[in-house]
Amino acid sequence: MPKRRLILCVIPFLLLTFYSTGFSKTDLPEEKQTTLGLYMTALEAFSKWHVDPNSVNILDVRTRAEYVFVGHAPMAVNIPILFFKNEFDKEKNKPLMPLNENFVAEVKKKFKETDTILVMCRSGGRSAYAVNLLAETGFKKVYSIVDGFEGDKLDIEGSYYKGKRLVNGWKNSGAPWTYQLDSELLYLP
């Protein structure tokens, strides 16, 4: 009986410790860290929005093409933080993506600095960048969705799916997503 009591006392403590720690700065790669230190997974973000859709906002900072052709959360407002440029960086093996100079101004048209905003990109890097820009201008309750819309890459040697974004993310979590467009949510400068 004493062992059972000990187990019953220890388990709630361990669960509380696990859930109260959440994501800390040390758990995330540097490019996914923010100055506000507010993070959640895509599934947590959907749950938070689902509980209070009138007070919680989802902001998708991917390019309009990603939003339209890869899919998006049905309630997500699209305001790209970066744009694709018709130039390619051969060293980095990726397209050049300059900053949307109107990003903060466009966000301020849609949201107040006191609003709760959950920011999503493809996999967590651009959302952290967006959170930092918004924090610099006075936004306080801006969370980075650390696994983004598509999630992280699968890293299993020999797998046909190695390198594909199948680990976590909004699209892989069971949260709702769509290709259907709503002109009120789509970025149309």
In contact, 180 and 74? CB cutoff 8 Å = yes
The neighbouring-strand residues paired with 60 are 78, 120
Q: Which residues contact 163 (CB under 8 A, 6 or more apart)?
A: 153, 154, 155
Catalytic residue flag (residue 121): yes
CA 159 from centroid of its chain's CA atoms: 26
In contact, 145 and 171? CB cutoff 8 Å = no
Out of 121, 128, 131, 185, the active site residue is 121
189: buried, middle or exposed (CB in 10 Å: 19+, 13-18, 0-12)?
A: exposed
- Which residues form the catalytic set? 121
